């Protein structure tokens, strides 16, 4: 398999750099305290990172053929960065409020569960990442566990729409909804195509 070409490498890393910079600019709008800025930045970077990692995983074979083996490594880097950013988001918020319970899911009601869905989303993404790390032991089962990423993204989207400081801006809210709809649509389409192929066989 061909190695990643320098030009394509530049394009991919430029996109990641743009995500980091734009996220920082959005997080620091209205000049919030630095702690709040870090919390928002972690949320935005983690959110976009999960989206890119989840979307690319649906086309991992095709993208690897196009970009080369290094794309798989880049996919893993984005996934780990997203998880770290979300952990930073949750950890900083817990430190700012002085309450570790914000990192635990809330089961008092369905509304509270989805409103504070960032906590369960973080744990689901962590579980999905652990499954990917142990994929050799889990064999085909790791893929099913890894699908928890998509549930986590939906929970994260609802949580962000309801409570996210950066999501007070209409354009951010619209982009977020579009990302969630696109990810679900692509996931369902890929699953249906795979099922049709199995039926034909």
Structure confidence by residue, pLDDT tens digits, 113-146: 999 999 999 999 999 888 888 888 887 788 888 8
Mean pLDDT over the full length of the chain: 85
CATH class of 6-98+110-200: mainly alpha
Residue 77 has a pLDDT of 84
**What band does 176 get if pLDDT is binned at 50, 70 and 90?**
very high
Phi/psi of residue 106, nearest 5 degrees: -110, 120
Residue 65 has a pLDDT of 74
Residue 1 has a pLDDT of 42
- Extents of the domains making up the chain: 6-98+110-200
Rounded to the nearest 5 percent, the helix, strand and coil shares of the chain are: 85, 0, 15
Round to whole Å and give the CA distance between 81 and 73.
12
Residue 159 has a pLDDT of 94
> Is a pLDDT exceeding 70 seen at residue 5?
no
Helix then strand count (H, E) for the chain reads 10, 0
Structure confidence by residue, pLDDT tens digits, 146-165: 888 999 999 999 999 999 88
């Amino acid at each position: 398999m061909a190695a990643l070409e320098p030009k394509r490498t530049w394009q991919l890393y430029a996109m990641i750099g743009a995500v980091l910079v734009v996220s920082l600019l959005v997080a620091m709008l209205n000049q919030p305290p630095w702690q709040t800025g870090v919390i928002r930045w972690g949320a935005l970077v983690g959110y976009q990172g999960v989206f890119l990692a989840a979307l690319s995983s649906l086309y991992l074979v095709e993208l690897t053929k196009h970009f080369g083996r290094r794309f798989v490594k880049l996919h893993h880097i984005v996934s780990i960065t997203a998880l770290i950013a979300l952990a930073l988001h949750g950890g900083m918020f817990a430190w700012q409020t002085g309450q570790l319970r914000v990192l635990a899911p809330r089961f008092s009601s369905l509304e509270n569960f989805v409103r504070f869905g960032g906590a369960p989303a973080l744990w689901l993404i962590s579980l999905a990442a652990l499954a990917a790390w142990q994929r050799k032991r889990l064999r085909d089962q790791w893929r099913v566990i890894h699908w928890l990423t998509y549930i986590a993204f939906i929970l994260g989207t609802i949580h962000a729409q309801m409570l996210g400081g950066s999501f007070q801006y209409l354009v951010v809210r619209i982009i977020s909804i579009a990302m969630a709809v696109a990810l679900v649509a692509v996931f369902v389409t890929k699953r249906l195509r795979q099922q049709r192929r199995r039926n034909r066989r």
